[in-house]
Structures are given as structure tokens and as C-alpha cells.
Amino acid sequence: MLINKPIQVFFIMLTMAIFNFSCHEANTRNIIALQPIGYTPQTTLNILKNNIEKQYQSTVIILPSITLPDSFINYKKGKRYAASSVIRHLKEVMPDTVQYIAGITNEDIYTTKQDKWGNIKKPESTYKIWGILGLGYKPGKSCIISTARLYSDNESKYLERIIKITLHEIGHNHGLDHCHDKKCLMTDAVERISTVDNAENHLCSKCYNSIK
């Protein structure tokens, strides 16, 4: 059967467009594993799953709970787990079928905070074992979120904090920097929980369009 050349060109272009769209859809549907460490209520995990899928257009799976090695613990300021060690561990146990893994724990976590020259921020007694809400490298495959410092008598606010910190750290894994927009969930907390409370629970349009 003969096909008119303009029609043939049209079908070729249409096929290429469908193929490119399908590839784009495949690329945007990353699989993110949500890894509970210790006990996290199933309702909280389900809420996180829904919010992550909505914000990052990804498929989220919830893994069985795990425990962390005692070697990650520092007792100098109470029981705190080294966030960098947890991140490395999560990357090691991450299933081959997922692109990112986000750990969530009710244990306290810490990092060593540095100045712009790479030295421990002063006073060292404060920042060498600095308690944090979460940590995710930019870019990276794994991040950790702790609920230990997010508590509020208001349950809705407590859950909102968990959602924001989780989406924030996953954002770093996707290559996002801190955002100057104080309403964007990628804004720097600057050591204040009030900054987290004042931010929205979604990315600003600039950050959303910058996701790698």
C-alpha cells in the first residue's frame, strides 16, 4: 500500500513523540524506598508515601523495619547516631530495584557542623556532635530523617514537620540546594524548627523545575 509522503512523515514524528514521552515518563517514575529504622507508625509511613509520590512523581515502597549497628552511636551528648554512617549504611542495604532510599527513625542523629573552610564550627563543644533533624547529600542515593527533635503537642504540626523534613532531604538527593524562598520546603532551617514550621510542604516552582 502506498502512503502519501507528508502523511508518512507525520506518522514518523508522532511515533517519535510518543516514544520520547514514554521515556520521559519512565525517567520521572523513580522508585524511592522508605526505610523505617526501629518503630514508625504505619499511618505515618503511609502519609509519607503519599506525599513523596505526589511531590516527586515517584513510586514509593515501604520496606520492613531494620535496626542500626551500635558502632554508629556516640554517647558524649546522650545517645546519638552518626547521620553520615546511617546514610552510607542505607545505601549499602538499598534494594537494586530502587533509585533512592529514605530512612526514618525516632532515634536522635548528629553530624559534625563545619565552617566554610572545612573546620569544625565554633564552639567545637556545640558543633562537633550537633543534633539534627535530617541529612541528605547533594546529589545522593540515601538520606536519613529523625523524628526525635520534631515533637509537638499538636499532632498535625508534628506530622507536617516529618513530611517537610523528609521531602527536604529527598530534595537534596535529587540535586537541590537550599532555596532562598523561605516558603519553599528546601529553605535552610538555620538551626530553627520555626523555619520548618513557616515553610510550605512543597517545592517552589524554581526548585521543582530544577530536579535532576
Per-residue pLDDT reduced to its tens digit, 199-212: 999 999 999 999 86
Over residues 114-129, mean pLDDT: 94
Note whether residue 1 is domain-resident: no
In a domain, 18, yes or no: no
Look up residue 193 and give its three cell numbers: 524548627
**Residue 22 pLDDT grade (very low, low, confident, very high; cuts 50, 70, 90):** very low
**Does 20 reside within a domain?**
no
Q: Is residue 79 over pLDDT 60?
A: yes
CATH of the domain at 54: 3.40.390.10
Read off the pLDDT of each residue in 118-144 and give the average, rounded to a whole number: 96
Q: Which of 82, 127, 140, 137 is nearest to 107 (CA)?
A: 82
What's residue 26's pLDDT? 39
Instruction: Give me 153's grid cell.
Output: 503537642
Lookup: cell for 160: 507536617
Does the pLDDT value for residue 34 go beyond 60? yes
Dist. CA 164–CA 167, nearest whole Å: 5
Is the Cβ–Cβ distance between 133 and 163 less than 8 Å? no
Rounded CA separation 66/201 (Å): 27
* Among the ranges given (11-20, 84-93, 116-125, 169-178), the one the predictor scored with the smallest mean pLDDT: 11-20
Quote the CA–CA distance of 129 and 76 in Å, as a whole number: 8
The reply to whether 174 falls in a domain is yes
Instruction: Please give the pLDDT value at position 44.
Output: 98
Domain assignment of residue 164, given as a range: 30-208
CA-based nearest residue to 142, from 94, 96, 178, 80: 94
Residue 6: CA count within 13 A, CB half-sphere: 0
Indicate the range of 25-34, 106-115, 118-127 predicted with least confidence: 25-34
For residues 77 and 164, what is the distance between their CA atoms, to the nearest angstrom? 26
Is residue 68, in this structure, part of any structural domain at all?
yes
Tell me, yes or no, whether 16 lies in a domain: no
Q: Could you read off the pLDDT of 99-109 as tens digits, one per residue?
A: 999 999 999 99
What's the pLDDT band for 23 if we cut at 50, 70, 90?
very low
**pLDDT of amino acid 11:** 45
Number of domains into which the chain is organized: 1
Given the DSSP bridges, would you call strands 59-62 and 31-37 parallel, antiparallel or unpaired?
parallel
Classify residue 25: in a domain, yes or no.
no
pLDDT one-digit tens code per residue, 61-77: 999 999 999 999 999 99
3-state secondary structure 40-81: CCHHHHHHHHHHHHHHHCCEEEECCCECCCHHHEECECECEE
23 within some domain: no
- The pLDDT value recorded for residue 4 is 53
Per-residue pLDDT, averaged over 172-185, amounts to 97
**56 φ, ψ (degrees, to nearest 5):** -110, 10
What is the mean pLDDT of the segment spanning 68-94?
Answer: 97
More confident position, 12 or 158 = 158
- What phi and psi, each to the nearest 5 degrees, are found at residue 129? -125, 75
Return contacts of 191-195, CB within 8 angstroms, 24+ apart: 193/133, 193/149, 193/150, 193/161
